[in-house]
Amino acid sequence: MAPHTPPRDTKVPYLEYPSPNQQHHEQQTRRQCLIYLIPGNPGLAGYYDPFLATLRQLLDETEAKNSETAFHLSAQNLLGFCDNDHEPPFGTDGTTPFNLEDQICHVYDRLVELNSPQAPHSDSEAPVYDEVIVIGHSVGSYIAVEVFHRHHLRMAATDINESNTRHLNLKAGILLFPTVSHMAKSSSGKKLDLIRRVPFLDNNAHRIAKSFVDLWPRWFLDVIVGRVMGFPAHAAAATVEFLVSRDGIWQALHLGKDEMVNITEEKWGEELWEIASDAEEDEAAARRGDGDEDSDKELKSAGRTKFFFYYAKKDHWVADECRDAFIERRSTHGRGGTRIMIDEHDIPHAFCIAHSELVAEKVKGWVDEIMGA
């Protein structure tokens, strides 16, 4: 197996929209809630700037009316989409781009890091968040579900008291245009899977694509993406940066092909989607056996995970039959822990290009519901 390129986590681009009501830990009168967004593929946080900015404004209004919670918004690139976030370049000494497993581990580690008082980009008194809401878009939704799944497993581990993960309270997941099963059965997935299954294309598609892009000067790409394709400024800038980067196209194709292989049959147990009863939560806390009231509270809170799924009416990355089968399973087996909605506004899969404000309004309503507003 080819070695992976080592990540340089401090170089992974990120966005932050802190609450205007952020307080030092010892002065906190509000609950501190982190809302963390996981991008789709290509994994560039810059696509989501208007979405997060709008959500920030909406939550500012909530905070002005309700003194109980301060919301902090954050998003970070997936690994490999910025040339500075890894050394050496892909292909050097046989190194390969980051796969889906790498991205899942990176996001989980990032959440634990942000929840730590020693988190980077903060002073030493930065608070531990009381709750964390994870927003996932497209493959980011699959990564989010995997993070919840692995966190539940770690919370049950015997050595949890020795880990910072014990303090990470994953409150809920908001999954936008989610791709959580059988991606290769979607219309776009079939095309990408064909590339994967044809040896010549599997080995050279990224080179062909990059060679074609490199034929054109940057100003020409700016014109094509911004004027011809009609992308707004933020999306055009992110797209052109992605196209002219050294490794971005290879990373996107490599990750996409890995998605076709690994995002197949749903593999999570029904307990992930359900809300645990109080009796089950008490039993889980008792198994911990530490008699710590705060620990029990964290475990109970961790057991009350909710997921909000927001599907498009038609999505070229989601096969209708797979979506409908997933909905049927949740309606048959679920106990209220999962809500699934289908869009009625013809919002496309790539909502972050031109429909950020409308989706932000919907997400704000779900955040209010999650937090009991």
- What is the per-residue pLDDT across 311-370, written as a single tens digit (0 to 9) for each? 999 999 999 999 999 999 888 765 668 899 999 999 999 999 999 999 999 999 999 999
Q: Read off the pLDDT of residues 223-247 as tens digits, 9 standing for 90 and up.
A: 999 999 999 999 999 999 999 999 9
Q: Is residue 186 helix, strand or coil?
A: coil
pLDDT of residue 277: 42
Helix (H) or strand (E) holding 147: helix 139-155
pTM greater than 0.85: yes
Block residue for tokens 């094509």? 224
Q: Residue 226 gets which letter from DSSP?
A: I
Q: Which tokens hold the place of 277? A: 């009863």
For 217, which DSSP code? -
Return d(Cα 4, Cα 206) in angstroms, integer. 17
Domain range list for the chain:
9-183+264-370
CA 247 and chain centroid, separation? 21
CA 358 to mean position of chain CA atoms: 19
CA–CA gap between residue 367 and residue 133 (Å, rounded): 8
Pairing of strands 69-76, 14-17: antiparallel
Assigned CATH class of 9-183+264-370: alpha beta
Residue 127: Cβ-neighbour burial (10 angstroms; 0-12, 13-18, 19+): buried
